[in-house]
Structure 1
Amino acid sequence: MNMFRFAVCAFALGFLAPAWAINKCIDDKGKVSFQDAPCIGQGEKIEVRPAMKGAAPAQPSPSTSQEGAFGPSWQRKNQLQSQGIPQARAAIERNQRECAATPQEGVAQSGPLRRSLSSGSQFAQEQSANAAKDKAACDARIQELREQLKSLEGELSKL
């Protein structure tokens, strides 16, 4: 991983706008030399910049009508088709299976326990209320998942 980071950093540094500091040095005999290190005797620092004005990278046009073959809208459409909508449908089916697996009202009203309780017992009423609450929660969750699926399908049709 460290080699990958090093390669990315080296690659990024290659695209920086070049600007160098060069020192023009004059020795005791009057000979002129250029170097990147500071001068020991007389000398001056020279800033060197690219001669071309267009050396800076061109800014992309704000037009989104020509985004290319694999632009953002294609990527979103592909993601919706391959993952978003299938996962939403699977979530609905999974929730329906889980709701079908939970005990409903009729479970508390049958069996040997029911025979020993009177018809108006608190236990039977609590079980009935819990079953109704669970069913309402399941129905609400399924409705929410269906609305999410519908919005994903609407977004896909717009793309």
Structure 2
Amino acid sequence: MPDVTLTDQDGNPYNLAEDPSTAAVVLFFGYTNCPDVCPGILADMATAKRRLPEDLVDDVTLIVVTTDPARDTPEALKEYLARVDDSFIGLTGSLDDIKPAALSLGIDIAEGKQLPSGGYEVDHGSYVLGFGEDRLLRVVWNEVPVSGMKDDYARLIG
């Protein structure tokens, strides 16, 4: 897990390597204005957690780190994640901090194309990363069914 301190959706500092207190951490780099991929991935992450046995649900921390900090303020993340699953930790900060943290995990972030609406997309890797209690990367998901993700969450918890 990268040792980087970002800002959570409540405006508090949050260190990826030190602050999660659960047995498992599931991490995704995405953004709230993503037109297609991110909403589905975040929904799958949350659904997999909700499907865990009741005694394991609180042993997984779901984290999304924005790839678009210019638009994803703490307030924007809070509002967005409340609609997805309010147990998510949403993190923002400087792209100069986020990019190296993402790249250290094999996730590339690049400026995307300009949209006709005047907005823009952000190109980024869409892998979901699972860390065990030792905060070592244990699993990488790419288009995995929710049931498989849920089973992996349970394995990460131990």
Q: How high is the TM-score relative to the length of structure 2?
A: 0.19
Bigger radius of gyration among the two: 1
Higher helix share: 1
Higher strand share: 2
